[in-house]
Structure 1
Amino acid sequence: MTKISKRRFFLFSLLFPFAFFKTSWGHPSKPNLLVVWKKKRVLALYRNSKIIKAYRIRLGFNPKGQKQKEGDGKTPEGKYYITHKNPNSKFYLSLGINFPNKFDKKRALNKGLNPGSDIFIHGLGKKNVLLHYMFDWTEGCIAVTNKEIEEIYELVEPGTVLYIYA
């Protein structure tokens, strides 16, 4: 090897390992699964069965049990998908959820009820941060802080699976 080639090789070997640090240290990987545990008030982002990030959440104002009808203040339980990103949300940023799914619609129809709609993962908008930490306050949505929804909004893509457990 010539002197110049050795120097280039040495510099390349020093610099190459750092080429990927921004993506691995700057933000978590993009998740392929979201899981909400209502009782624990946690939203976890998973990539290949490993938690990459978790957030404290707030739910509907009447969170226990499965959402039955529009206006009941419950957060739904089941398997859903992220349908879209809303950059113009009343609550800063939001991710749409495909609620009601076919099971929710059938359950409501059998009871003669309207299952409701417009369930999102969203920020606070102009809501008081202290109240967010003290109470479940949404109409059935999953709420995080504005700073947290910025990160979630950037990481989560439409089509991502979401499981919501009691």
Structure 2
Amino acid sequence: MHLIRTLLLLAGLATLAACGDSKFKTYNGPEVTQVYVNKTDRKMYLLHHTKVLESYDIALGFAPQGHKQFEGDGRTPEGVYYIDRRNPNSAYHLSVGISYPNPYDREAARAVGKSPGGDIFIHGQAGKSKGMPPDWTAGCIAVKDKEIEDIYAMLRDGTPIIIAP
């Protein structure tokens, strides 16, 4: 009987220990009121009004210069967008969606007879950046997996994101 209790206790402790490694974090700090991305410097900042809460080194689309114009161009969009969705089952660990394309983006792509594309996210790496150039995504913003865990917890849908050249 004592052996069974000991085994049950150990199993319970193992279960609790596994919970500590969850990719889903909690955040109780100041609200992130804006995300600012500087493509030239390869930096992303989470802000509470004018105060920088966190900053991250980032990777961009494989053709980082200029605004995304159409699907497949490898560029990361520029402009004002919003965080509009979350993907807990991302192929890139975790991801939060960016509201690209906006009506202007759709019209600009349509004017040249192309699709604007979509599915632009801030996401982790999930081992997919190994052996790749510094800017390796198809137009997304990539950070380390541990960083996207914090970002995923900190950002709320509707948070503005400014992506500057």
TM-score class, shorter: 0.7 to 0.9
Amino acid at match of 1:88: N
Distance 1:125 1:30 in 2: 27
Q: Secondary structure at the match of 1:95?
A: strand
Partner of 2:44: 43
What is the aligned-residue RMSD (CA, Å)? 1.6
Q: Does residue 151 of structure 2 align to residue 152 of structure 1?
A: yes
Compared CA separation, residues 58 and 40, structure 1 to 2 (3 A): same
Aligned residues: percent identity? 46
Compared CA separation, residues 93 and 117, structure 1 to 2 (3 A): same
Tell me which protein shows more helix as a share of its residues.
Answer: 1
How high is the TM-score relative to the length of structure 1? 0.79
Q: Secondary structure at the match of 2:62?
A: coil
Compared CA separation, residues 70 and 128, structure 1 to 2 (3 A): closer
Partner of 1:109: 110
Post-superposition Cα deviations, 1:32-67, rounded to whole Å, max 9, x if no partner, equal 100101000000001021111110000000010111
Partner of 2:142: 143
Report how many aligned residue pairs link the two structures. 139
Q: Secondary structure at the match of 2:109?
A: helix
Post-superposition Cα deviations, 1:2-56, rounded to whole Å, max 9, x if no partner, equal xxxxxxxxxxxxxxxxxxxxxxxx8752311001010000000010211111100
Q: Secondary structure at the match of 1:89?
A: coil
After the TM superposition, which segments of 4 or more aligned residues of structure 1 sit over 3 Å from their partners? none
Distance 2:129 2:80 in 1: 30
**C-alpha contact (below 8 Å) 2:129/2:136 kept by paired residues:** no
Partner of 2:71: 70
Distance 2:119 2:44 in 1: 19
Q: CA deviation at 1:145?
A: 0.3
